[in-house]
A and B are shown apart, each in its own frame.
Chain A
Amino acid sequence: DIVMTQSPLSLPVTPGEPASISCRSSQSVLNSNGYNYVDWYLQKPGQSPQLLIYLGSNRASGVPDRFSGSGSGTDFTLRISRVEAGDVGVYYCMQTLQTPLTFGGGTKVEIK
């Protein structure tokens, strides 16, 4: 199985400031088609996870452009350019290159 490792575990943030979360895969998730099969999800308190980024860098429908994904191969980053209070929750990366699909352990973002 591909192991996904996220850091940090917890991220206190100040509204209006940028934030970034790292995700590393135990093997490359770059497909021969040139796409990185990594998604990012946000689980807000009391809600189900929601898709933010797919294929490494593509924003899902309705996701603000404050969110961006980057990286390739085994190292990926989710960036929030200006954190808002509504961005709090647990962020997960997930690889979809091969089954079983696997998730990172999560990064809890909270307001300072």
Chain B
Amino acid sequence: QVQLQESSPGLVQPSETLSLTCGVSGYSISSGYYWGWIRQSPGKRLEWIGAMYHTENVYYNPSLSSRVTLSVDTSKNQFSLKLKSVTAADTAVYWCVRIGDDVSGYSIDYWGQGTLVTVSS
């Protein structure tokens, strides 16, 4: 059974960098699939942040691309999100996800439990 687990930084100071890591069990990241992040701010719809396939194909939401970096550590079977210069608008529940391939229409078949990140001083 594939399982994803986000780290939980909880509170981040405004203008600082939000860092999240997603540990994967039950599947080797290097074996395939896309791995990404989704968030939901209070009262807002779900927002796709970005995704990557291994390290060579990385896709970002243009609305966040200037502040976001995704990376993968295959030795630890985990992948990470860094979002710099955060503001209160970045307060949200963040999920790490596995995204299928073209056969499944790039659907999201596994989600982490989600972690609430609050940006506040």
Chain B associates with chain A: yes
Query: Quick check: which of A13-21, A77-85, A100-108 contacts chain B, the rest being far away?
Result: A100-108
When distances are taken between beta carbons in the complex, the residues of chain B under 8 Å from A41 are 108
Q: Would A37 and B112 count as touching, CB distance under 8 A?
A: no
Q: Would A99 and B61 count as touching, CB distance under 8 A?
A: yes
Q: Would B109 and A51 count as touching, CB distance under 8 A?
A: yes
Closest to A41 in B: B108
Q: Would A39 and B105 count as touching, CB distance under 8 A?
A: yes
When distances are taken between beta carbons in the complex, the residues of chain B under 8 Å from A55 are 104-105, 107
Closest to A104 in B: B45
Assess whether A111 is interfacial by the CB under 8 Å rule. no
By secondary structure, the A interface counts as loop
Assess whether A67 is interfacial by the CB under 8 Å rule. no
Closest approach, in angstroms, between the C-beta of A92 and any C-beta of chain B?
6
Closest approach, in angstroms, between the C-beta of A89 and any C-beta of chain B?
13
Given known A-B contacts A37-B106, A49-B46, A99 and B59 have beta carbons under 8 A apart: yes
Closest to B47 in A: A103
Complex CA–CA separation, A99 to B95 (angstroms): 18
Residue in B48, B62, B107, B111 whose CB lies within 8 Å of A60: B107
Given known A-B contacts A51-B107, A54-B105, A60-B107, A100 and B114 have beta carbons under 8 A apart: no
When distances are taken between beta carbons in the complex, the residues of chain A under 8 Å from B47 are 103
Complex CA–CA separation, A35 to B102 (angstroms): 10
Closest to A103 in B: B46
Assess whether A32 is interfacial by the CB under 8 Å rule. no
Assess whether B63 is interfacial by the CB under 8 Å rule. yes
